Chain A
Amino acid sequence: MINSLDENKLKFLEEKANEIRRLIIETLVEAGSGHSAGPLGMADIFSALYFHILKFDPRNPFWDERDRLVLSNGHICPVQYVTMALAGYFSIEELKTLRKINTRLQGHPHRAVLPGIENTSGPLGEGISQAIGMAIAAKLDKKDYHIYCITSDGEHQEGNTWEAYMFLGKNQLDNLTIIIDRNYIQIDGITENVMPLEPLKQKLESFGLHVLEVDGHNIRAFIDAINEARSEWKRTSVIIAYTIPGKGVSFMEKKFEWHGKPPDKEEAKKALDELRTLGGKIESEHQ
């Protein structure tokens, strides 16, 4: 079970999330291309995962007993790279190489070059299946590490996602937890205009999954949800995390136009100013 969360730790995680957001902005400006909205929206969850939930050792990234974090929507990798750097996998300096030639920080994450990345991704809809494979392997080897899979809402338009859910309905792997970044945007617009996903919760439940809903910016609530998911031992849990794309940078929030572009220097300055003022306080707008 995950350690309980005292006020100090919560504050620490919130401040980390803010640091993650600032580094995302700095890293993207330097890269000159890449995705802004998704990564900013997932900063709180990444803070909670890497600094409270996941079991790992950055000096020994292939440690057998580590928890596995499968990022299915690979395009939000800036949030993962930044968090990994803060967690000690590599230097903050290396973030400057994002998307540049000869880098380990590929535009979409590549397992073969960066220890700590569990799966190569970018093409959507492929993560849950791989996470299922890892969960089955853990059972076969009688290992008790946990597999977490992050997937986006846009990915739920891929048939493969539902093939994987159908498999889980049959096989119910309790060592796998799926986290959906439900931010309501994709490239061509609002998900409900492009290709509606609702009622998402009911769809997932009808596949036999244990579904939880949480405000993805409320770190305490998210950790509680993970605990609830992990105490469910008969079914695979799916946490629908409601997030705000671009969270923390007012002019990016809820705008699908920020799906796949980086801020320019001017915009970055504005964003960093806002984030500095915000400190560790992300107000929960879903509550």
Chain B
Amino acid sequence: MLNLELKLNPKIFEEVEQKPIRDGYGDALIEAGEKNHNIVVLTADLAESTRAHKFAARFPERFIECGVSEQNMAGIAAGLAVSGKISFISSYATFSPGKNWETIRTTIIYNNANVKIAGHHSGIVTGPDGATHQATEDIAIMRCLPNVRVISPCDYWEAKKATLYSVEEYGPFYLRYVRDKTPVITTEETPFRFGKIEKFWISKNENAEIAIMATGHLVYQALLAAKELEEEGIDVYVLNVHTIKPLDEEKILEVANKVKGIVTLEDHQINGGMGSAIAEVIVQKSENKPKMIFLGLQNTFGESGKPDELIKKYGMDKEAVKNAVKKLLTF
């Protein structure tokens, strides 16, 4: 059942409200910009679709339009940051941190500059634009770097809180946002605890055999699966992994020692993503070694299509989750 202690959206299984995760970014920038005059926002010809345009209208003197030049934008952000500013760079994740990855690695991350990298249009749910615009490797290329925090929020509210949190802590952050409207899973009251994995779906007697660990908008698919499995008499946990780096090892080990199987779910390549990160912890540190099934892109690129068609075709929807849970139960 839904973990009510976390004040999740009670209407999640009814007509759930839909709101774009990227709006959480845009709204947080305005709020943060109001309070903190050191915040500067940069874009590379994508002000509106990254939702930086509202900040641009409100604080034009602290908004920097770089034109289509992602490497340049990363370097400028680093220069600003080592001079006392807090820089947010806004583009599509395939281009930033995709195209400008090495500039980010050196000038922002190795350099320990206070830059927040906002990667938009993440995941296959970017839809009709096709694979060139769907960031499906960004978690992997960012989490492999030392000295960076990686957050993949599950909905609008979490995106807003994560963005605001990133201002509070000095240093490089990678924040992952989604284009389309997605279900609002949490509420304004839900606590955001950086670095913590939270149980969104709990088992009645705390004795579920399978845990589903999901990140980003797919947490919703995991919850739908959990509800339908419950109706079939199958108990699971659903854990929301918003912070992918640093990973909540304690929680992972606690769960791994209790269950016989773990399903990981991410709108990203399974190679090097959140599932891999969790497996690294379990393989190295867990007494119990539950079997794992990784759901996400199975070593293939995405394609054009509607978001719901795509998550179905590529095995990231609730049906895929249910099947994976059942398969793990047979081991």
* Residues of A in contact with B (beta carbons under 8 Å apart): 31-34, 74, 99-103, 105-108, 110, 120-125, 154-155, 157-159, 186-188, 194-195
**Which of the candidate stretches B66-74, B106-114, B156-164, B222-230 sits at the interface with the other chain?**
B66-74
**Which of the candidate stretches B16-24, B232-240, B301-309 sits at the interface with the other chain?**
B301-309
* Partner of B65 from A103, A121, A125, A194 at Cβ < 8 Å: A194
B116 interfacial by beta-carbon distance below 8 Å? no
Q: What CA separation (Å) do A161 and B179 show in the bound complex? A: 28
A/B interface sample: 12 pairs, CB < 8 A: A99-B128, A106-B304, A107-B132, A107-B133, A123-B98, A124-B68, A157-B68, A188-B48, A194-B45, A194-B67, A195-B66, A195-B69
Is the Cβ of A107 less than 8 Å from the Cβ of B304?
yes
Q: Min CB distance, B157 to chain A, in Å?
A: 27
Q: Which of B42-80 contact A (CB under 8 A)?
A: 43, 45-49, 65-69, 71-72
A154 in contact with B68 given A123-B94, A188-B45, A188-B46 (CB within 8 Å) = yes
Chain A residue, CB-CB nearest to B99: A123
Is the Cβ of B132 less than 8 Å from the Cβ of A120?
yes
Is the Cβ of A195 less than 8 Å from the Cβ of B65?
yes
Is the Cβ of A108 less than 8 Å from the Cβ of B129?
yes
Is the Cβ of B130 less than 8 Å from the Cβ of A125?
no
Q: Min CB distance, A259 to chain B, in Å?
A: 10
Q: Min CB distance, A116 to chain B, in Å?
A: 17
B327 interfacial by beta-carbon distance below 8 Å? no
Is the Cβ of A100 less than 8 Å from the Cβ of B69?
no
For chain B, the count of residues having a C-beta within 8 Å of the partner chain is 31
B277 interfacial by beta-carbon distance below 8 Å? no
* Partner of A107 from B43, B45, B46, B129 at Cβ < 8 Å: B129
A103 in contact with B69 given A33-B128, A121-B132, A123-B94 (CB within 8 Å) = no
Chain A residue, CB-CB nearest to B69: A157
Interface centre among B69, B71, B132, B313, by most chain A C-beta atoms within 10 angstroms, is: B132
Is the Cβ of A159 less than 8 Å from the Cβ of B71?
yes
Q: Min CB distance, B128 to chain A, in Å?
A: 4
Chain A residue, CB-CB nearest to B312: A101
Is the Cβ of B309 less than 8 Å from the Cβ of A158?
no
Q: What CA separation (Å) do A120 and B306 show in the bound complex? A: 21
Q: What CA separation (Å) do A107 and B66 show in the bound complex? A: 25
Q: What CA separation (Å) do A102 and B304 show in the bound complex? A: 7
Contacts of B47 in A (CB 8 A): 187-188
Q: What CA separation (Å) do A135 and B28 show in the bound complex? A: 48
Those 9 A-B pairs whose CB atoms lie nearest each other, nearest first: A195-B67, A101-B305, A122-B132, A157-B67, A107-B130, A99-B128, A106-B130, A157-B68, A107-B129
Q: Min CB distance, B125 to chain A, in Å?
A: 13
Interface centre among B66, B72, B129, B310, by most chain A C-beta atoms within 10 angstroms, is: B129
Chain A residue, CB-CB nearest to B132: A122
Contacts of A99 in B (CB 8 A): 128-130, 304-305
A122 in contact with B133 given A154-B68, A157-B67 (CB within 8 Å) = yes
Contacts of A74 in B (CB 8 A): 132
Q: What CA separation (Å) do A121 and B99 show in the bound complex? A: 13
A108 in contact with B133 given A99-B128, A101-B305, A101-B310 (CB within 8 Å) = yes
Contacts of B67 in A (CB 8 A): 154, 157, 186, 194-195
* Partner of B130 from A32, A110, A154, A195 at Cβ < 8 Å: A110
Is the Cβ of A107 less than 8 Å from the Cβ of B99?
no
B220 interfacial by beta-carbon distance below 8 Å? no
Is the Cβ of A101 less than 8 Å from the Cβ of B69?
no
* Partner of B131 from A34, A106, A157 at Cβ < 8 Å: A106
Q: What CA separation (Å) do A100 and B45 show in the bound complex? A: 26
Is the Cβ of B128 less than 8 Å from the Cβ of A188?
no
Contacts of A121 in B (CB 8 A): 132
Q: What CA separation (Å) do A122 and B65 show in the bound complex? A: 21
Interface string of B119-162 (1 = CB under 8 A from A): 00000000111111100000000000000000000000000000
B95 interfacial by beta-carbon distance below 8 Å? yes
Contacts of A195 in B (CB 8 A): 45, 65-69
Chain B residue, CB-CB nearest to A32: B128
Interface string of B311-326 (1 = CB under 8 A from A): 0010000000000000
Q: What CA separation (Å) do A186 and B313 show in the bound complex? A: 34
Q: What CA separation (Å) do A120 and B132 show in the bound complex? A: 8
Q: Min CB distance, A109 to chain B, in Å?
A: 9
Contacts of A154 in B (CB 8 A): 45, 67-68
Q: What CA separation (Å) do A194 and B75 show in the bound complex? A: 18
Contacts of A186 in B (CB 8 A): 45, 67-68
Beyond A122-B129, A188-B47, A195-B45, 4 extra complex contacts between A and B, CB < 8 Å: A100-B304, A101-B313, A102-B303, A123-B132
Contacts of B95 in A (CB 8 A): 123
Q: Min CB distance, A264 to chain B, in Å?
A: 16
Contacts of A124 in B (CB 8 A): 68
Contacts of B132 in A (CB 8 A): 74, 106-108, 110, 120-123
Q: Which of B272-331 contact A (CB under 8 A)?
A: 303-306, 309-310, 313
* Partner of B46 from A102, A103, A187 at Cβ < 8 Å: A187
Is the Cβ of B133 less than 8 Å from the Cβ of A188?
no
